[in-house]
Each structure stands twice: as structure tokens, then as C-alpha cells.
Amino acid sequence: MPDGSPAAPLFGIGHNQGPPLDPGASWRRYCWKKAHAKAWQTPPREIALARLKRAEELGMTYREYTAVLLDTGRRL
């Protein structure tokens, strides 16, 4: 403080000033990882070949095309 007195603590007694603990964060991360893995499973051969063909027509990689498809739900 400007007058030389010690600054008041920002947190209460027992707080170690570490990051906040969010009990839901680990569950959300688990759900996100599971959904991500399911979304990026290898599709049947015919679907993968059709996506690859369309991606090449558009000048994109298979992964870029699939990412847009999964994000928007629309074909380009």
C-alpha cells in the first residue's frame, strides 16, 4: 500500500492462491475426449473414399474436409 501498511490478503485464510478447482472440469474433459474419439473413428471404407474424393476435388486434405463436415454438419 502507498502508506507503507501491509496489503490486505486477496483470499481468505487457508487459500494457497493456486488455480481454482473446478469439480466439473474433469467430467467435462472426460466427456469431450470420449465424444472426440467417437467423432474421429474410422468410417466405413465407402464413406472414407467418398470424403477423400470430395476433399481432393475441393483442394483440401481428408482431415480438413472431415473437420468441416463434423463441425458444421454440412457437406461443402
Q: Where do the structural domains in the chain lie, given as residue ranges? A: 42-76
Beta strand spans in the chain (E): none
Please list the pLDDT of the chain residue by residue as tens digits (76 residues): 556 666 665 666 766 666 666 666 778 888 888 988 998 888 899 999 999 999 999 999 999 999 999 888 888 8
How many Å apart are CA 58 and CA 2, to the nearest integer? 63
pLDDT at residue 65, rounded to an integer:
93
Residue whose C-alpha cell reads 494457497 in the numeric block: 16
pLDDT at residue 29, rounded to an integer:
81
Three cell numbers written together for 10? 486477496
* Contact indicator for 63, 69 with CB cutoff of 8 Å: no
Half-sphere exposure (CA, 13 Å, Cβ side) for 7? 5
The pTM score is: 0.53
